[in-house]
Amino acid sequence: VPVTVGDPTAPAHPAEHQHCRHNPLRDEWVLVSAHRVRRPWRGQLEQPPAEDVPRWDPANPLCPGATRANGEVNPHYEGTFVFPNDFPALQPDSPAPGDSDHPLFQAAAARGVCKVMCFHPWSDLTLPLMSLAEIRAVIDAWAELAAELGASYPWVQIFENKGEMMGCSNPHPHCQVWASSFLPNEARLEEQTQRQYRDRHSVPMLLEYAEQEARRKERLVVENEDWLVVVPYWATWPFQTLLLPRRHVLRLQDLCDSERDSLASIMQRLLIKYDNLFQVSFPYSMGWHGAPTGPHLQEDCGHWQLHAHYYPPLLRSATVRKFMVGYEMLAQAQRDLTPEQAAERLRSLPEVHYKQRRR
């Protein structure tokens, strides 16, 4: 129990007093200091994202018919479009490093495949402005890639960086898919924590967590018959969310048709709320985590639960972001807005996009 002035034994109100919360998925702690959100801000201001993105630009390498850096010309696609990344971080035929001569200087082979997936042919659209049928097509393409690459690779990471603030270099609705010959750090950590939780409690961690959050409601943002979105109890980013299925699902490709339809709906609802928060195309990094694949397809992965992380940086407005520096880099994560406050703000927002309300 945090120490409070006057009565050190009295339980503290989490919205008023600093305290630490445990993240069981990463086995780490976050410092919550809600009183700091009232401090004046004179730090860096960001430029709001441009809203005059052209629908088609021949200089944009993601557009239909555009020429990419390697000289290849995109087809005049009308739906989703997948192609090999022209500057891949992983290649399938990379040689293995030599043996290390000291335990402090270890290296290992890293092979894989990197792909880019365009969601839509129009550059001026983002997922929340796409139709449910178009979002469903994206989900189907995700599942197809996850199954195709997961047939041989242990990990398939689907991720979207939205907005210049998150390093997106081309204004066009798209994501990346990296398949690797190894389990990345986050995957290895979630593998360990979820396995340990099931061994101790005989239930998948995130299945039980979803049930608890659905009952408690205080961090719930949106829900439907198959899915729920919460600001996790242990959130580090200001408006971070976790997208969870209600039933036990290991991988994207395991979703049935109705679950894919309801996933399209809940994604649209969440992303509209994100955009409505500051009436701006909301930047974020998001990604799917599911059970490992490749050789792990033959193993018991029942401790895993499919989920998606959304990590948005904006804190106070469209121009004020949260930076993970100083204490966060050198000690542990710290946040100024409680997850309950963030969830309440998101939950109360309309589910009609602000651009569509202007019409």
Please check whether residue 170 is in contact with residue 62, taking contact to mean a CB–CB distance below 8 angstroms.
yes
Q: Does 216 count as an annotated binding residue? A: no
**Has 167 been labeled as part of a binding site?**
yes
Start-to-end CA distance of the chain, whole Å, equals: 51
The residue to which tokens 């200001």 are assigned: 238
State residue 41 phi and psi, 5-degree precision: -115, 125
Binding site annotation covers 27? no
Question: To which residue do tokens 């995700």 refer?
Answer: 142
Residues in the chain: 359
Measured over the CA atoms of residue 87, residue 92, residue 95 and residue 100, the dihedral's sign is positive
pTM of the model: 0.92
Does the annotation list 86 as a binding residue? yes
Instruction: Say whether 66-180 and 18-39+184-356 share the same fold.
Output: yes
176 annotated as ligand-binding: yes
**Phi–psi pair at 225, nearest 5 degrees:** -65, -25
pLDDT at residue number 35: 65
Q: Is 221:347 a contact under the CB 8 Å cutoff?
A: yes
Pull the structure tokens for residue 57. 């630009």
User: Quick one: CA dihedral 292, 297, 300, 301, positive or negative?
Assistant: positive
Q: Which of 17, 85, 15, 30 is nearest to 236 (CA)?
A: 30
C-alpha torsion 347→349→355→358, nearest 10:
150
Query: b/e for 182-217, b at 16 or more Cβ within 10 A?
Result: bbeeebeebbebbbebbeeeebbbbbebbeebeeee
pLDDT at 2: 42
pLDDT at 203: 98
State yes or no: 285 annotated in a binding site. no
Active site residues: 174
Q: What does the alpha-carbon distance between residue 176 and residue 257 come to, in Å, rounded to a whole number?
A: 23
Nearest to 175 by CA among 64, 288, 11, 255: 288
Alpha helices in the chain (DSSP H): 132-150, 185-201, 205-216, 257-278, 327-330, 339-347, 354-357
Domain ranges of the chain: 18-39+184-356, 66-180
Give the 3-state secondary structure of residue 216: helix
334 marked ligand binding residue: yes
3-state SS, residue 30: strand
Look at strands 19-23 and 333-335 and give their pairing. unpaired
Determine the topology of domain 18-39+184-356 in CATH: HIT family, subunit A (3.30.428)
Q: Which CATH superfamily is domain 66-180 in?
A: HIT-like (3.30.428.10)
274 annotated as ligand-binding: no
Do residues 265 and 243 touch, judged by C-beta distance below 8 A?
no
pLDDT by residue, tens only, the chain of 359 residues: 343 434 445 555 556 688 999 999 999 999 999 766 555 545 555 667 777 889 999 999 999 999 998 999 999 999 999 999 999 999 999 899 989 899 999 999 999 999 999 999 999 999 999 999 999 999 999 999 999 999 999 999 999 999 887 777 789 999 999 999 999 999 999 999 999 999 999 999 999 999 999 999 999 999 999 999 999 999 999 999 999 999 999 999 999 999 999 999 999 999 999 999 999 999 999 999 999 999 999 999 999 999 999 999 998 888 888 888 899 999 999 998 999 999 999 999 999 999 988 66
